């Protein structure tokens, strides 16, 4: 007999059994006999109060036995809550400490997205996103400080995330324009200006002892930060035009100045940390690669000079209340500065191979041409050697 | 809800000294108990006797002020024990070999003699049950009990648990293992 045959038979038996009815006569006679027996033996005296209370309790106890009734669903509910929220809280708090490349890092980014989605308005969103960019900078510092075989990948990943965040800020600033009030725009633009300057500066500091690839990525992030800052300045300048009472000329001039100083300082540091190429000594050696390098370096230094010139004009234009022109100059100067920086970083050998000279840049306020610094013959040779290697790689 | 009504009737009987409450208990459960025993006993008269005895035992139990938490399951428990006693006593009298006191019933014995006074349907059901039990007889006692109470008598797991004096979860496990065991038999 198969399993299904067996079950079929059981169902058949059940159906037959269900149809079985006791004999009605027997039913009645048994009923009357039993009732007679019950009546005859039923106690006559009234039940004692204690007995009544006991029976009453038994009857109503299921309704009042809260511990029994509630225990299971409450514990089940608590278990679910603890699992969902406790677990996620634990995960999130653990994720907060995670660094790029860690298993929980994506959780951290997702949590940030969730916080961003819950922000009440565009001002809060920008503020929150700016906070997150500071986190990225902290992560970058930690990644650099920690000994790790995959440090390079992690640095690149962090720089990419930071660049993306900065692009998002720029986009959010665009969304904010026309929606937020003049005061909010003023506060946000100033905050962005300060924070992005800090981010660019911090990234500049972290660039020391980095490979060209890492430096390139970090510079891209810096450029994105700078671009977000310029966007904030543009919005502030537009608001100044429409609502001059709230956003004064001085407000716009201040942020322009902060940004210009930030770019100048970054350039100074960047060029100060690079090998100064002695054009004269390279030319004397007469190699083709040396000549090419010298040409590249000269054009790059030209870019730096032009950038400094553009930046120095920004203050003057701002003082004259020519904000559009000042911003245009700022954009040009910033672009030139970062282009020069990128070119230098591509040319630069890894650390420790070149002689580091004093910065050959003029100050932001000066428009004097760059003065070459003298180097020792040994230093010139080592610089040339490294230049040849780099040019070879570039070819 | 069923348990609540039973609880109320017991309260009426014990505190209000209301004999009609017992009559209502009888009316509510007599048919199911009768059906439970009729399939297990050879003659209709035996089934009637054991059904009546089940309610007499209930009353004796109540007179002794003993606690009843699940009246329905309690009645099945009494009936089950009485059926077991019936076969045990009969075996002693006939000096037949000892049988299983659970559901290893003497269903394959001489049907024509023992089924006197029964309807055609009941004889058929009993024959079918004999075939099924012959198959199920290869299983453990617990398996047979739970299968019969669940599939034939249609009792809830909580009631079966009370009757067999086991935990509800355990009964569920036994039931599913029994079904699996049947599959494995083939």
> Which of A391, A346, A390, A378 has its CA nearest to residue A278?
A378
| B103 contact A CB<8A | no
User: Which residues in chain B are closer than 8 Å to A31, comparing Cβ atoms?
Assistant: 23, 26-27, 30
| Helix pair A122-145, A182-206: axis angle to 10 deg | 10
Per-residue confidence at A359, pLDDT binned at 50, 70, 90? Answer: very low
A to B CB pairs, distance under 8 Å: 116
Query: Contact A6/B152, CB-based, under 8 Å?
Result: no
| Dist CA A369 CA A301 (whole Å) | 9
Any idea what DSSP says for residue A372?
P
Is residue A302 classed exposed, middle or buried when 0-12, 13-18 and 19+ CB atoms within 10 A define those classes? middle
Query: What count of Cα atoms within 13 Å lies in the side-chain half-sphere of residue A301?
Result: 22
Mean pLDDT rounded to a whole number for chain A: 73
DSSP 8-state code for residue B99:
-
The count of C-alpha atoms lying within 13 angstroms of the C-alpha of A318, restricted to the half-sphere facing its C-beta, is 28
pLDDT of residue B3: 75
Q: Which residues of B touch A13 (CB under 8 A)?
A: 39, 125, 128-129, 132, 152
Tokens of A373: 């610094």
- Mean pLDDT, range B89-110, rounded to an integer: 50
The Cα B147–Cα B170 span in angstroms is 13
Q: What whole-number distance in Å separates Cα of residue A199 and Cα of residue A146?
A: 20
Q: Which residue numbers of A have CB closer than 8 Å to B's CBs?
A: 1-3, 6-7, 9-14, 16-23, 26-27, 30-31, 33-35, 37-39, 41-44, 46-47, 51-52, 55-56, 58-59, 62
User: Are A42 and B132 a contacting pair at CB < 8 A?
Assistant: no
User: pLDDT value at position A29?
Assistant: 92
Q: Which single residue is written with the structure tokens 């669940």?
A: B150
Helix and strand numbers, DSSP H then E, in chain A: 15, 0
**Of B27, B174, B11, B53, nearest to A53 (Cα)?**
B11
Tell me if chain A has a CB within 8 Å of the CB of B151.
yes
- Asked if the Cβ–Cβ distance from A18 to B7 is below 8 Å, we say no
Q: A62 to chain B: which residues are within 8 Å by CB?
A: 4, 7
Cα A155 from Cα A77, distance rounded (Å): 44
Least confident of A54-58, A323-327, A328-332: A54-58
Residues of A in contact with B39 (CB under 8 A): 13, 17, 20
Angle among Cα B167, B170, B172 to the nearest 5 degrees reads: 115
Chain B neighbors of A9, CB-CB under 8 A: 128, 131-132
CB pair distance less than 8 Å for B39 and A20: yes
Q: How far apart are CA A191 and CA B141, in angstroms?
A: 80
What's residue B35's pLDDT?
Answer: 85
Break chain A into its structural domains and give their ranges: 99-247, 265-389
B39: helix, coil or strand? coil
Lowest-confidence region among A94-108, A271-285, B40-54: A271-285
Per-residue pLDDT at B57: 93
Residue B149 pLDDT > 80:
yes
SS3 B111: helix
DSSP letter assigned to residue A207: T
Q: Do A58 and B11 touch (CB under 8 A)?
A: yes
Token pair belonging to B129: 């049950």
Distances (CA, A) of B78 to A71, B154, B162, B175: 32, 17, 11, 22
Give the right CATH number for A99-247 from 1.20.1420, 2.40.30, 2.70.220, 3.10.20. 1.20.1420
Give CA angle at A13 (A12, A18), nearest 5°: 100
User: Which residues in chain A touch residue B23, judged by CB atoms under 8 angstroms apart?
Assistant: 31, 35
pLDDT confidence tier of residue B183, bands split at 50, 70 and 90:
confident
Sign of the C-alpha dihedral, residues A320, A322, A327, A329?
negative
Model confidence at A306: pLDDT above 60: yes
CA–CA separation, B39 and A81 (whole Å): 50
pLDDT in the model for residue B1:
64
Alpha helices (runs of H) in chain B, residue ranges in sequence order? 2-15, 19-38, 44-63, 71-94, 111-114, 120-136, 141-147, 157-163, 168-185
Looking at residue A391, its pLDDT comes to 40
Q: Could you read off the pLDDT of A148-191 as tens digits, one per residue?
A: 777 788 888 888 888 888 888 888 888 877 777 888 888 888 88
Lowest mean pLDDT among A77-91, A184-198, A304-318, B149-163: A77-91
What's CA B95's distance to the chain center, in Å? 25
DSSP state of A82: I
CB atoms inside a 10 Å sphere around CB B186: 11
Segment A296-308 shows an average pLDDT of 74
Specify whether the CB–CB gap between A237 and A330 falls below 8 A: no
Report how far residue A362's alpha carbon sits from residue A364's, in angstroms, rounded to the nearest whole number: 6
Q: Which residues fall within 8 angstroms of residue B41, CB to CB, at 6 or more apart?
A: B47, B50, B83, B86
Task: Inform me whether the C-beta atom of residue B51 falls under 8 Å from chain A C-beta atoms.
Answer: yes
pLDDT at A289 over 70: no
Tell me, what's the pLDDT at A294? Answer: 54
Q: Quick one: tokens of A109?
A: 């980014």
Chain B residues with CB-CB distance to A58 below 8 A = 7, 11, 67
Least confident of A80-84, A294-298, B35-39, B62-66: A294-298
Cα gap A236→A251, rounded to integer Å: 8
Most confident of A262-266, B142-146, B162-166: B162-166
Spatial separation of the C-alpha atoms in residues B84 and B76, rounded to whole Å: 12
Q: How far apart are CA A19 and CA B120, in angstroms?
A: 12
Q: What mean pLDDT comes out for the span A368-377?
A: 41
């Amino acid at each position: 007999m198969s399993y299904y045959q067996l079950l079929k038979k059981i169902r058949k038996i059940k159906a037959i059994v269900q149809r079985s009815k006791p004999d009605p006569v027997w039913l009645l006679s048994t009923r009357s006999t039993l009732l007679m027996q019950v009546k005859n033996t039923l106690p006559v005296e009234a039940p004692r109060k204690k007995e009544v209370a006991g029976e009453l309790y038994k009857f109503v106890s299921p309704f009042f036995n809260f511990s029994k009734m509630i225990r299971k669903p409450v514990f089940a509910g608590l278990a679910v809550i603890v699992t969902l929220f406790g677990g996620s809280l634990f995960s999130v708090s653990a994720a907060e400490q995670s660094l790029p490349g860690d298993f929980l890092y994506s959780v951290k980014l997702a949590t940030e997205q969730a916080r961003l989605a819950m922000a009440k308005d565009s001002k809060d969103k920008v503020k929150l996103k700016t906070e997150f960019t500071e986190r990225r900078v902290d992560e970058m510092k930690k990644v650099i400080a920690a000994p790790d075989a995959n440090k390079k990948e992690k640095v690149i990943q962090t720089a990419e995330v930071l660049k993306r965040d900065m692009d998002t800020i720029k986009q959010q600033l665009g969304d904010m324009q026309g929606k937020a009030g003049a005061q909010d725009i003023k506060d946000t633009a100033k905050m962005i200006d300060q924070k992005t300057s800090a981010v660019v500066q911090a990234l500049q500091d972290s660039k020391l002892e980095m490979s060209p690839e890492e430096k390139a990525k970090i510079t891209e992030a810096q450029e994105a930060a700078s671009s977000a800052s310029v966007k904030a300045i543009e919005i502030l300048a537009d608001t100044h035009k429409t609502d001059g009472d709230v956003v004064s000329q001085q407000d716009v001039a201040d942020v322009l100045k902060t940004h210009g100083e930030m770019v100048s300082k970054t350039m100074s540091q960047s060029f100060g940390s690079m090998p100064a190429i002695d054009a004269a000594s390279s030319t004397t050696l007469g190699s083709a690669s040396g000549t090419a390098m010298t040409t590249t370096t000269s054009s790059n230094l030209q870019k730096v000079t032009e950038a400094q010139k553009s930046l120095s004009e920004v203050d003057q234009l701002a003082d004259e209340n020519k904000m559009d022109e000042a911003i245009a100059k700022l954009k040009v100067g910033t672009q030139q500065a970062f282009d020069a920086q990128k070119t230098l970083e591509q040319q630069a050998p890894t650390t420790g191979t070149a002689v580091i000279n004093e910065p050959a840049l003029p100050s932001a306020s000066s428009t004097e041409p760059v003065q070459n610094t003298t180097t020792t013959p040994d230093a010139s040779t080592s610089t040339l050697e490294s230049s040849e290697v780099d040019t070879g790689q570039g070819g | 809800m069923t348990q609540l009504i039973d609880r109320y009737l017991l309260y009426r009987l014990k505190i209000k000294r209301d004999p009609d409450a017992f009559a209502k208990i009888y009316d509510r459960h007599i048919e199911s108990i009768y059906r439970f025993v009729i399939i297990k006993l050879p003659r209709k008269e035996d089934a009637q006797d054991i059904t009546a005895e089940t309610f007499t035992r209930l009353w004796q139990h109540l007179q002794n002020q003993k606690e009843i938490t699940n009246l329905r399951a309690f009645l099945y428990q009494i009936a089950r024990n009485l059926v077991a006693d019936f076969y045990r006593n009969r075996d002693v009298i006939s000096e037949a070999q000892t049988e299983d006191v659970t559901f290893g019933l003497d269903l394959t014995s001489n049907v024509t003699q023992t089924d006197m006074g029964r309807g055609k349907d009941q004889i058929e059901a009993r024959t079918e049950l004999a075939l099924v039990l012959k198959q199920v007889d290869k299983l453990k006692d617990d398996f047979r009990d739970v299968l019969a109470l669940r599939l034939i008598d249609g009792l809830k797991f909580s009631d079966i648990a009370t009757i067999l004096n086991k935990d509800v979860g355990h009964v569920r496990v036994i039931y599913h293992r029994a079904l699996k065991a049947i599959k494995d038999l083939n």
